[in-house]
Amino acid sequence: MEEERAEQPFVKLEWLGDVACYDARLAYTLLQSGAGAGGYVDVGGWETITLLGRWEAGAANQTVNGQQLGNIDADLWVRKVVHTVRRPNAFAGSIFKAQSDWFNAKNPNIDFTLLIQSYCRYLIAPQPTPLENIELAFECVCPAGLVLKCGTNIVATFTNLRAFSSDNGEVPTEAAITLHVTRLPRGVYESCDLGKAQETLRRLGYLPPPG
């Protein structure tokens, strides 16, 4: 039944070929979600997983753990990664607050580490890495995104490289990494046979013939 559904999409999803080139199992899983109306039928919806670090003191070189906001209770397709830095009390009442916060988020002087234990071990930032680098790095390294299995373990840390001024209201400061994800049918990606996935995708025209 599943193979019949995969072989008979309502429309040809041209973008799925790009996904298939990088991860045939993911492309096959998306076909199992159903297809129509120019895209796949989203079985679980779009949601976010945020890793939040918060400093309650102003001294430099403090490392705080990233608190995970959101549960990973299904297989998730990570499609975009973004970051921000928030200083809710900094320069309160100033007409330049929004401008100051925007520039600070672009050059936050904060390093992060990030390890994801999923279907494989993603060492995204095993050593302290500038926070502002994560978005471009993700787009380059994971052009088709990556898949997190139900119960994935994520460990993140944040370190401030400069002191925060309590006089200017920079305490507290928060740094956040947000994963934008789409739910996948549970277990399909894990149980997918790579050879079968590639064969099906070639038959449907999403992958070129072998050789």
Measured CA to CA, the distance from residue 67 to residue 117 in angstroms comes to 16
Measured CA to CA, the distance from residue 114 to residue 136 in angstroms comes to 15
What is the residue-averaged pLDDT of the chain?
87
**Greater model confidence, 201 or 9:** 201
Q: What percent of the chain has pLDDT over 90?
A: 63
For residue 164, is pLDDT > 50? yes
Per the CB < 8 A criterion, the answer to whether 157 and 53 are in contact is yes
User: Do 190 and 172 fall within a single domain?
Assistant: no
For residue 50, is pLDDT > 80? yes
Q: What is the pLDDT of residue 6?
A: 47
User: Do 8 and 103 fall within a single domain?
Assistant: no
User: Do 67 and 118 fall within a single domain?
Assistant: yes
Over range 127-152, report the average pLDDT: 90
Over range 85-100, report the average pLDDT: 92
- Measured from the Cβ of residue 13, the count of other Cβ atoms closer than 10 Å reads 21
CATH value at residue 72: 2.60.120
Range of the domain at 200: 1-42+186-211
- Residue 28: its H or E element: helix 24-32
Query: What is the number of domains present in the chain?
Result: 2
Under 8 Å CB-to-CB from 56, ≥6 apart: which residues? Answer: 171, 172
For residue 22, is pLDDT > 60? yes
